[in-house]
Amino acid sequence: MSVRSNFAENDGLAIHYLDSLDMADPSLTPVLICPGLSETAEEYADLMEELLPRRCIALSFRGRGQSDTPQQGYDLEHHVSDIAAVIGEACVPLIHLFGYSRGVSYALSYASQNKQKIASILVEDYPPEHRAMTVSWQEDYINNYVITAKRNIRPAAVRGIQNDSTQQDIFFTFEKPVLVTRGMLSDTLLTDEGIASYRNMFAAMQLREFLHSGHNIRGTEKQELYLAVQHFINNI
């Protein structure tokens, strides 16, 4: 699939994103994808293709992929500003907003401040919160995950996330459709308590549970997840 590779300027930083505009039907509301903590836009090329002819935009947050890596500026509001920069550069007035894992907290915070720009929200296996990270997490993540698994997030970004992130609950009401997905195995990050929090926030929430998955639904039941996403968006 051929997509545009673009950059949005955000306070002097270049934030990379992929855009399937050239193959898209302009009558369909686009989807904006907020990847997980160490993921990049390129890892969502298959979902972008699956959702054609709907336009999809996937960004790489600061410190990931082809985006710039500042030494500081990694709290919630900084990542939200990356979303805002990409949406502004891509000139999309209304979007379906999809987030996975820590990308959920970035997406939800953006949505809470820009409800008029959101057609629907799609949450994949993460509670409505932004988590502070410990020093021990930082070293373990760099040594045993970033280096070993060759994830495309720079160590400077991991250190910045640990140093700058503050613990925050995210709560806002939203009347438009919301799809919450979660894995049902032991490594899911979305508990029954998290589901209850979402129900308190979202009047039109739908829940889809994946019995054979934990946190990484795309790794175990990808096609089922993509079909659920497509069905949800197409029926709004």
pTM of the model: 0.97
pLDDT tens figures, 206-235? 999 999 999 999 999 999 999 999 999 999
The SS3 of residue 87 is helix
For residue 207, give the 3-state DSSP assignment. strand
3-state class (DSSP) for residue 136: helix
Q: How many CB atoms lie within 10 A of CB 231?
A: 11
First to last CA, the chain: 26
pLDDT, tens digit, 9 for 90 and up, residues 57-102: 999 999 999 999 999 999 999 999 999 999 999 999 999 999 999 9
